[in-house]
């Protein structure tokens, strides 16, 4: 899973989100060089199940 810094993510948001959406790409987002979050595509069925159970 590739790393992407917050600054780079800000500069390339549209491109990164397109890759997540179309290519099912996943990224580890770093802040000040430290892994902070994961960006990954959502599964529509899983989202629906989460919303129903909430």
Per-domain boundaries in the chain: 3-53
Q: Is 11 exposed, middle or buried (0-12, 13-18, 19+ CB in 10 A)?
A: exposed
Share the mean pLDDT of the chain. Answer: 93
CATH 3.40.630.30 fits 3-53, yes or no: no
Instruction: Decide the pairing of beta strands 34-39 and 27-31.
Output: antiparallel
Query: Coil, strand, or helix at residue 38?
Result: strand
pLDDT band at 44; cut points 50, 70, 90: confident
Q: Report the pLDDT value the prediction gives residue 47, as an integer from 0 to 100.
A: 78
User: How do residues 18-36 score in pLDDT, each as one tens digit?
Assistant: 999 999 999 999 999 999 9
């Amino acid at each position: 899973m590739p790393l992407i810094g917050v600054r780079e993510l800000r500069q390339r948001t549209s491109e990164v989100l397109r890759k997540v959406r179309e290519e099912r790409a996943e990224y580890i987002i770093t802040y000040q060089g430290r892994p902070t979050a994961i960006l990954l595509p959502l599964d529509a069925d899983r989202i629906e199940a989460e919303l129903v159970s909430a």
